Amino acid sequence: MLACPSTTFHCPTTFHRHSHPSKLLLSKSKPLIFPPRSSFAAFGKLKLSSIFSGKNCRRFNVKASIDSSSELLESADGGSSHIAPHSVKIPVGDRYILVETGHMGRQASGSVTVTDGETIVYTTVCLDDIPSEPSDFFPLSVNYQERFSAAGRTSGGFFKREGKTKDHEVLICRLIDRPLRPTMPKGFYHETQILSWVLSYDGLHIPDSLAVTAAGIALALSEVPTSKAVAGVRVGLVGDKYIVNPTSEEMENSELDLMLAGTDSAILMIEGYGNFLPEEKLLKAVEVGQDAVRAICNEVEALVKKCGKPKMVDAIKLPPPELYKHVEEIAGDELVKVLQIRNKIPRRKALSSLEEKVLKILSENGFVTNDTAPRNNAETIAEILEDEDEDEEVIVDGEVDEGDVHIKPTPRKPTRLFSEVDVKLVFKDVTSKFLRKRIVEGGKRSDGRTPNEIRPINSSCGLLPRAHGSALFTRGETQSLAVATLGDNKMAQRIDNLMDVDDYKRFYLQYSFPPSCVGEVGRIGAPSRREIGHGMLAERSLETILPSDKDFPYTIRVESTITESNGSSSMASVCGGCLALQDAGVPIKSSIAGIAMGLVLDTKEFGGDGTPLILSDITGSEDASGDMDFKVAGNEDGITAFQMDIKVGGITLAIMREALLQAKDGRKHILGEMMKCLPPPAKRLSKYAPLIHVMKVRPDKINLIIGSGGKKVKSIIEQSGIEAIDTEDNGTVKIFARDLASLEMSKAIISNLTMVPTIGDIYRNCEIKSIVPYGAFVEIAPGREGLCHISELSSAWLAKAEDAFKVGDRIDVKLIEINDKGQLRLSHRALLPDADPDNSNSTDKGSLEEVISLTNAGLVEEKTEQNAKVNTRKGRTSSKRSSEDNSALPSKKFIRRSSEDKPVTNKDKIKKSDNKDESSLVSEEA
């Protein structure tokens, strides 16, 4: 019977289905209408036995959270009346974005798709039927996912299904969450979930700014009682032109990457990175972005009027106002003294003790109850559940008949009961109020500083002897241990996302915040979203000052472990990371410092003149109780990274300008203190850091280094004992080694493999590898051999080569010819004292042709290079040929040169070859 949607019960008390499954209206003399089977689960959470049991079951008067005039989502016959599909084009920058709702995700509280070009982002908003326990933190969760199918790809990993959220997706989740949270009203505890997917990506229109806008629109269309619509845009700076929502191609040339979100009247969040961007340019970019956000929000407001659902305003439950008075009376005087404690841990313990004292006093006076039933501020329990027993005798004039004794009853007003959660929430609000009042009225903060004063700073480098670079940076009660590690390309971090198929990061900063840094016990495991976000902010702050890969071909990793925290730990990571890079010998462009700024917006409420008060270098309590957390990193000339979160309805450009200028003064002070680091950074490579040698060879010689199936490069690594060899198609070769000896050995092997021999070069002490009837094969370099014909072995006539030489003998030879196949013809006779210059430079065509024919017939093993193509021109002098070949040779580059390295001379073009692998190069350059 319950399965039938039209089943009707005649009951004095009935339920009416409204747009939200947890909102019910109860009335009399109307049939009880049950929802369809699919919706019946929503009523499972309602205990009917508790409603119809007890002596007070005769009359109920429960109010719904939504007005009865709201549009019904389900009719009595089980049908549904969803909002009709609707779309609108909104101008953004130089193009339009398409916003559509009502055609996807119709069962969600709010759903929307936003399209820019061929990039489509789909976002939904849903909320729980039953409110969560009251808390000072709104139960909002955000998940963003980039489907690889959106770009026509699959994951490059073993698992082809999208799984764990990637770091860059976590960063976008934070971009969505941070501007929406300040718009949520206090007292709304229904858990809210925002899900966002990239369904299509065209490679040009970046989806993260669209995801912020889509979440703001979906939330505005839903039942969540947000204050205003929120939208987000990206602003780039190409030349002198500010571009709203630039394409990925335009961002390649942009000096600024700014993400901005806000409402039609205020800024809620900014985050971005710049190349030492001046403050005025940043403010101009914010102004351009705010204009674009305002235009989007105005269009969204019109869309909400047509398609939006009624807001659950009545679901907001705030602590009773009289509780604030009780808490202030009990804790006011003592709270003023506690907030003057300078150190964080003693102050925290004192506040906790005072909170327990307030709870105890209120409990003893009968004001606190452990009842966890939902609060209702509009009516008391006595008003909701009225006892109307019609059979009870009515006593006139309020007198109660007690036999012969008539007692006039004293009317008792029901005592208002508060929950423990209410008391804790109010105590936190009162503490925040007293802290603001102390700063505004007294001009002093908890640690005794003035609003623009920086905490004491000290730093030191070289703490960890085996680390490549280390630094300990301390600012007040915030401390960061930063460690820099240098490595080869294998240490680079691979990124698998929609933007790039194979993207590798050569610099990354990893931030960790263990619970011990705040004196607590907590979970240790995978990095939290906060840790990922703070690490990326510090990473982008330092990325601008790093040298290019060409100048410093190392992969760099910086770890920042927060060993002590009392606010602004991400900016301490910037300062400590900068010192660690210097200590590791990284040639950075300049030093970078970071600072966090705070704000008390309405000072008039706390005894001020109403002018917003900017705070420099805020602590944890000032971050929690203040209205802004504005982090700025850079040097004296400009900004490299910034991030601003607002806890109020937004701020204006004037406030932001003042905060930026005050932050600039703070950065100058911090940079000056960093210069006093003791001991100072080493500014040279650690002896434990790997050595990297960069050399250039002809691109067509790269295959000689790699070999068939990589056999040659593996043999070079095994033979020399180096770490790795990295080759590029343009002829760049990077050798990674742990010691200088192995580096030199591998360098010599590669140089000999890729050398370009020049006619007239002389090679000393070369080994005879084999003897044939027509001459001897001589190794002039490891892996490179040439034929010394029997006529060139001696100035006298030889019947057989064995008559004068044997395998293993060492002789000096001169290169006299290179044929079209790259085969080398050597002469020992040309270096003998009685040698005839004319005869030595002549070419014995018959002998060379004999070698070629024997080789082609398979009688002689081919041991010379086959890929070199050098044209032999007769009649030209060897010096002319040498100059032509040297002009085409690529150059080599040393990243680190030892005292044993000496420049190679080309005097007399004499090359020495011995039985060691560290043989000198054939020519001056590799």
- Report the alpha-carbon distance of residue 243 to residue 93 in Å, rounded: 7
Q: Is residue 241 within 8 Å of residue 232, measured between CB atoms?
A: no
Q: Is residue 127 within 8 Å of residue 109, measured between CB atoms?
A: yes
Question: Strand 24-28 and strand 13-17: pairing?
Answer: antiparallel
Write phi, then psi, for 759 (nearest 5 degrees). -60, 130
User: Tokens in use for 621?
Assistant: 């309590």
Element at 461 (helix H, strand E)? strand 457-461
Adjacent-strand bridge partners of 620: none
Cα Rg of the chain, angstroms:
40
Cβ-count burial 308-319 (b if 16+ within 10 Å, e if not): bbbbbeebbbbb
- Report the alpha-carbon distance of residue 528 to residue 173 in Å, rounded: 12
- Report the alpha-carbon distance of residue 686 to residue 691 in Å, rounded: 10
**CATH 3.30.230.70 in the chain, residue ranges:** 86-315, 457-675
* 3 state SS of 361: helix
How many Å from the N-terminal Cα to the C-terminal Cα in the chain?
90
- Report the alpha-carbon distance of residue 52 to residue 5 in Å, rounded: 23
**Strand ranges (E), 44-165:** 86-92, 95-101, 110-116, 119-127, 140-146
Give the CA angle between residues 190, 196, 201 to the nearest 5°: 170
- Report the alpha-carbon distance of residue 609 to residue 97 in Å, rounded: 44
Query: CB-side exposure of 693: number of CA atoms within 13 Å?
Result: 27
- Within 222-274, residue ranges assigned H as helices are 248-251
Residue 782: CB atoms within 10 A of its CB come to: 19
Residue 136: CB atoms within 10 A of its CB come to: 11
Tell me what pLDDT residue 156 has: 67
The length of the chain, given as a count of residues = 926
* 3 state SS of 17: strand
**CATH 1.10.10 in the chain, residue ranges:** 319-369+417-444
Question: Which residue in this structure is represented by tokens 């976002």?
Answer: 123
Tell me what pLDDT residue 390 has: 41
3-state secondary structure 756-787: CCCCCCEEEEEEEEEEECCEEEEEEECCEEEE
Question: Strand 95-101 and strand 86-92: pairing?
Answer: antiparallel
pLDDT mean values, one per 10 residues, the chain (926 residues): 38 38 37 38 36 36 35 42 82 93 93 96 95 88 93 76 87 95 91 96 94 96 91 95 94 94 92 94 95 95 92 91 91 90 91 92 82 44 40 43 48 64 91 90 86 95 95 96 92 76 84 94 90 95 93 94 94 97 95 95 84 93 91 94 88 91 95 94 91 88 86 90 89 90 89 83 90 90 84 88 88 90 87 61 42 38 36 36 37 38 39 38 29
Adjacent-strand bridge partners of 610: none
**CATH 3.30.1370.10 in the chain, residue ranges:** 691-754
Question: Which residue in this structure is represented by tokens 């909320």?
Answer: 127
Q: Is residue 342 within 8 Å of residue 447, measured between CB atoms?
A: yes
- Got the DSSP string for 109-132? SEEEEEEETTEEEEEEEEE-SS--
Adjacent-strand bridge partners of 255: none
Kindly tell me the number of DSSP H helices and DSSP E strands found in the chain.
Answer: 19, 39
Question: Phi-psi bin for 707: left (phi > 0), alpha (psi -120 to 50), beta?
Answer: left
Query: CB-side exposure of 853: number of CA atoms within 13 Å?
Result: 7
User: Tokens in use for 122?
Assistant: 């789909």
Q: Which amino acid is at 408?
A: K
Element at 629 (helix H, strand E)? strand 628-634
User: Tokens in use for 227?
Assistant: 């204050």
Question: Which residue in this structure is represented by tokens 């060139």?
Answer: 792
Q: Which amino acid is at 195?
A: L
Element at 482 (helix H, strand E)? strand 478-487
Q: Is residue 756 within 8 Å of residue 780, measured between CB atoms?
A: no
Q: What is the CATH number of domain 319-369+417-444?
A: 1.10.10
- Report the alpha-carbon distance of residue 792 to residue 374 in Å, rounded: 106
Cα 718 from chain centre: 38
Element at 483 (helix H, strand E)? strand 478-487
- Report the alpha-carbon distance of residue 256 to residue 254 in Å, rounded: 5
Cα 721 from chain centre: 37
CATH topology of domain 761-831: OB fold (Dihydrolipoamide Acetyltransferase, E2P) (2.40.50)
Q: What is the CATH number of domain 86-315?
A: 3.30.230.70
Give the CA angle between residues 308, 24, 29 to the nearest 5°: 125
- Report the alpha-carbon distance of residue 267 to residue 285 in Å, rounded: 13
CATH topology of domain 691-754: Ribosomal Protein S8; Chain: A, domain 1 (3.30.1370)
- Report the alpha-carbon distance of residue 774 to residue 656 in Å, rounded: 87
Give how far Cα 383 sits from Cα of 23, 26, 59, 902, Å. Answer: 20, 16, 11, 97
- Report the alpha-carbon distance of residue 695 to residue 183 in Å, rounded: 57
Q: Is residue 281 within 8 Å of residue 660, measured between CB atoms?
A: no
* 3 state SS of 262: strand
Q: Is residue 246 within 8 Å of residue 285, measured between CB atoms?
A: no
- Report the alpha-carbon distance of residue 129 to residue 525 in Å, rounded: 32
Tell me what pLDDT residue 172 has: 96
**CATH 2.40.50.140 in the chain, residue ranges:** 761-831
- Report the alpha-carbon distance of residue 660 to residue 280 in Å, rounded: 9
Write phi, then psi, for 50 (nearest 5 degrees). -75, -25
Residue 149 makes CB contacts below 8 A (sequence gap 6+) with none
Edge-to-edge strand ranges of the sheet holding 691-696: 724-727, 732-737, 691-696, 892-894
- Report the alpha-carbon distance of residue 559 to residue 542 in Å, rounded: 13
Question: Which residue in this structure is represented by tokens 């976590």?
Answer: 170
Give the CA angle between residues 671, 673, 677 to the nearest 5°: 110
- Report the alpha-carbon distance of residue 532 to residue 526 in Å, rounded: 10
The CATH superfamily of 457-675 is: GHMP Kinase, N-terminal domain (3.30.230.70)
Residue 108: CB atoms within 10 A of its CB come to: 18
- Report the alpha-carbon distance of residue 842 to residue 883 in Å, rounded: 21
* 3 state SS of 299: helix
